[in-house]
Chains A and B, each alone.
Chain A
């Protein structure tokens, strides 16, 4: 392993070679008479052992990005119209089917929001967790079982020996999500994508699952892409955050710096529209209006119809995601002004 570790503020090792890299990735959804541009030329990197959060509201393209990385875009309809996805230097978009199969599940894995719809209701939990092991490692029956029980213990499912034989409906929501995590980790992947992993769970269970994910990530030095709409979950669990709006990355950087001092009006709006559990607030500063229709996006900056700072420039010219500070990018013509003025 030849890795150059640079010590950042938080002493998090960054390895020079990214684990995953998206280059100018664009995704489209084709329906009978229209094309929705779900994701527009986004660039991202995720490093070993790092948690990158993709934060956005519904329809911002965060889940579509995850599906594209996993090669799971709905067919027909979902199309990668532009760009490349590199995983350990290997291009994924134009990979042959056999090579793709080898990679997915073994090195890249995903867990979804709703574990009950992701698990097969008529197969035992143990069988489903062991599926990848049987197919890929051709382990014997006993060896598989042993390994599955190990995995179930790893994700802290109590009484694993007996629950091995149970069906998904016999598990609570939190336990089902643990099963999904065990399933995703069966082959020790290098990258785990967690698409809203705790959104369907209660807060006390959410806390358990997020802690578990963190521990497992540290153990295996996995790269983790955490997709969420919850600013709290992102702030507590991610190293870096990419904020998405209407298919664009509008801002990216270290979580703490982005949240403390956002450099895009949308992030500012997002931060001020959440009620705080820490203090009592008066009135929330909501973002006026609605996200745009992706089949008919506005000209220029996608956020300009809802932005209080918008000028003619914003209506005409699309801002590019540009570096405004080391490790910090924003796609706003007035990023500097937003940074310097606390309140807009």
Chain B
């Protein structure tokens, strides 16, 4: 991919999103939780960026802030050169049709009292310039076919479909406005594996056909590896490692990324020769009261005094070609020793 002459479709720069903590009788704001603290990344057209992390790491808040569902505290979000945090609501309304969202739970995102046709045409009521009213039925049939639904079922209600089909309706609805970027927030996590595979294939086909860019948020590393070109790993509101997919999976340098990769249940454990299983102790600390210095240090087996005092910054690792934020990154020379053969 020749990214040098391409402009990113979405660029997030030092984004901070925080939630107030209110206490006492008068619900006064006493402090705040930084759910996202200075996160930066770019997505190029036709590319898929994976945002991975465990619950509470802020990955969904990133998505919600990009879509304007949460207000950012500082930082900027450039979509095709325009800063979404600075434009007026009116301008935002126009731009929003270019960015669409697919959520985890189709049941919660589809109105049970609306027929599929109405669900898909609803966005056109607001953005009336996309499809002329007389073409609605034709266009609905086209979109339904595109996502693998039978156009004859346009008059059915969501409950008449299976979970996978309902997720297809959600995708159809996102496509109705012909977006350039689709944010998938755990879009396949609630589905059974055989259905999940169908939806993943659909997302890939749509990307090829329509040149979409995806921001794919997931906790499932195998799904992310399958779908994404680039991956950013988040921990407690910060991106701790980011790079091309292969770099992250083959040469992770941050201990947390290593641990996360090692914790993924392997359907073929007998093929694994470098069984250096890392099982982290403890739980993720509360984002309201993050540890000083490196946020991962409370669970990190490599943590030293420096990690407590100084927060590591996201810097490029020359020997692997991607960025990570760690004082003591897993280096090249460390990897052979960690390869323990399982007998």
Known contacts A230-B265, A271-B267; is-contact A57 B192 (Cβ 8 Å): yes
Does residue A327 face the partner (Cβ distance < 8 Å to B)?
no
Which residue numbers of B lie inside 8 Å of A, CB to CB?
Answer: 54-55, 162-165, 192-198, 200-201, 204, 219, 221-223, 225-227, 245-246, 249, 259-272, 277, 279-281, 283-284
Does residue A273 face the partner (Cβ distance < 8 Å to B)?
yes
Known contacts A203-B260, A204-B259, A278-B266; is-contact A229 B192 (Cβ 8 Å): yes
A278 to B192, CA, bound (A): 20
Apart from A231-B265, A236-B265, A286-B201, what are 16 other A-B pairs with CB-CB below 8 Å?
A202-B54, A203-B260, A204-B259, A231-B267, A232-B222, A232-B265, A232-B266, A235-B265, A271-B267, A273-B194, A274-B222, A275-B197, A278-B266, A278-B272, A280-B226, A288-B198
A 278-300 binary contact with B (CB < 8 Å = 1; else 0): 10110111111010000000000
Instruction: Looking at the assembled complex, report how far the CB atom of A233 sits from the nearest CB atom of chain B, in whole angstroms.
Output: 4
A241 to B9, CA, bound (A): 47
Is the Cβ of A278 less than 8 Å from the Cβ of B268? yes
A232 to B268, CA, bound (A): 7
Is the Cβ of B194 less than 8 Å from the Cβ of A269? yes
Is the Cβ of B268 less than 8 Å from the Cβ of A273? no
Which residues on the B side are within 8 Å of A277 (C-beta)?
221-222, 225, 249, 261, 264, 266
Which interface residue of B201, B265, B266 has the most chain A CB atoms within 10 A?
B265
A232 to B263, CA, bound (A): 10
Known contacts A232-B265, A236-B265, A277-B266; is-contact A203 B194 (Cβ 8 Å): no
Instruction: Looking at the assembled complex, report how far the CB atom of B69 sits from the nearest CB atom of chain A, in whole angstroms.
Output: 23
Secondary structure type dominating chain B contacts: helix
Which interface residue of B194, B197, B264, B266 has the most chain A CB atoms within 10 A?
B194
Does residue A174 face the partner (Cβ distance < 8 Å to B)?
yes
Known contacts A204-B54, A235-B268, A275-B222; is-contact A286 B263 (Cβ 8 Å): no
| A window 206-232: CB within 8 A of B | 206-208, 210-211, 229-232
Does residue A256 face the partner (Cβ distance < 8 Å to B)?
yes
26 contacts between A and B (CB under 8 A): A203-B54, A203-B265, A204-B54, A206-B263, A206-B265, A207-B277, A229-B193, A232-B265, A235-B268, A236-B266, A269-B194, A270-B194, A273-B193, A274-B222, A275-B197, A275-B226, A277-B222, A277-B266, A280-B246, A283-B201, A283-B204, A284-B226, A286-B195, A286-B198, A287-B194, A290-B164
Is the Cβ of B279 less than 8 Å from the Cβ of A256? no
Which residues on the B side are within 8 Å of A260 (C-beta)?
268, 270
Which interface residue of A207, A211, A271, A280 has the most chain B CB atoms within 10 A?
A207
Q: Which one, B55, B226, B259, B277, contacts A281 given CB within 8 A? A: B226
A57 to B201, CA, bound (A): 19
A57 to B279, CA, bound (A): 27
A 257-278 binary contact with B (CB < 8 Å = 1; else 0): 0011000000001110111111
Does residue A172 face the partner (Cβ distance < 8 Å to B)?
yes
- Size bin of chain A's contact surface: 35 or more
Q: Output the nearest chain A residue to B277 by Cβ-Cβ distance.
A: A207
Which residues on the B side are within 8 Å of A43 (C-beta)?
none
Is the Cβ of B263 less than 8 Å from the Cβ of A204? yes
Is the Cβ of B263 less than 8 Å from the Cβ of A203? yes
Give the total number of A-B pairs whose CB atoms are below 8 A apart: 127
A170 to B331, CA, bound (A): 39
Q: Which one, A202, A207, A287, contacts B197 given CB within 8 A? A: A287
A273 to B268, CA, bound (A): 14
Is the Cβ of A202 less than 8 Å from the Cβ of B198? no
Q: Output the nearest chain B residue to A55 by Cβ-Cβ distance.
A: B193
Q: Output the nearest chain A residue to B205 by Cβ-Cβ distance.
A: A283
Q: Which one, B165, B260, B267, B270, contacts A204 given CB within 8 A? A: B260
Which residues on the B side are within 8 Å of A175 (C-beta)?
283
A208 to B165, CA, bound (A): 35
5 nearest interchain CB pairs?
A: A232-B265, A275-B226, A286-B197, A273-B197, A202-B54
A 152-172 binary contact with B (CB < 8 Å = 1; else 0): 000000000000000000001
A188 to B280, CA, bound (A): 28
Instruction: Looking at the assembled complex, report how far the CB atom of A327 sits from the nearest CB atom of chain B, in whole angstroms.
Output: 17
Does residue A308 face the partner (Cβ distance < 8 Å to B)?
no
Does residue A205 face the partner (Cβ distance < 8 Å to B)?
yes
Known contacts A280-B245, A283-B204, A286-B197; is-contact A274 B279 (Cβ 8 Å): no
Q: Output the nearest chain B residue to A280 by Cβ-Cβ distance.
A: B225
Does residue A5 face the partner (Cβ distance < 8 Å to B)?
no
A269 to B192, CA, bound (A): 13
A288 to B226, CA, bound (A): 19
Which residues on the A side are within 8 Å of B267 (C-beta)?
231-232, 234-235, 259, 271, 274, 276
Q: Output the nearest chain A residue to B194 by Cβ-Cβ distance.
A: A287
Q: Which one, A208, A271, A276, A288, contacts B280 given CB within 8 A? A: A208
Instruction: Looking at the assembled complex, report how far the CB atom of A15 sits from the nearest CB atom of chain B, in whole angstroms.
Output: 25
Instruction: Looking at the assembled complex, report how far the CB atom of A323 sits from the nearest CB atom of chain B, in whole angstroms.
Output: 23
Q: Output the nearest chain A residue to B163 by Cβ-Cβ distance.
A: A58
| A window 44-73: CB within 8 A of B | 57-58
Instruction: Looking at the assembled complex, report how far the CB atom of B62 sits from the nearest CB atom of chain A, in whole angstroms.
Output: 18
A270 to B280, CA, bound (A): 30
Is the Cβ of B268 less than 8 Å from the Cβ of A208? no
Is the Cβ of A284 less than 8 Å from the Cβ of B201? yes
Instruction: Looking at the assembled complex, report how far the CB atom of B203 sits from the nearest CB atom of chain A, in whole angstroms.
Output: 11
| A window 149-201: CB within 8 A of B | 172-175
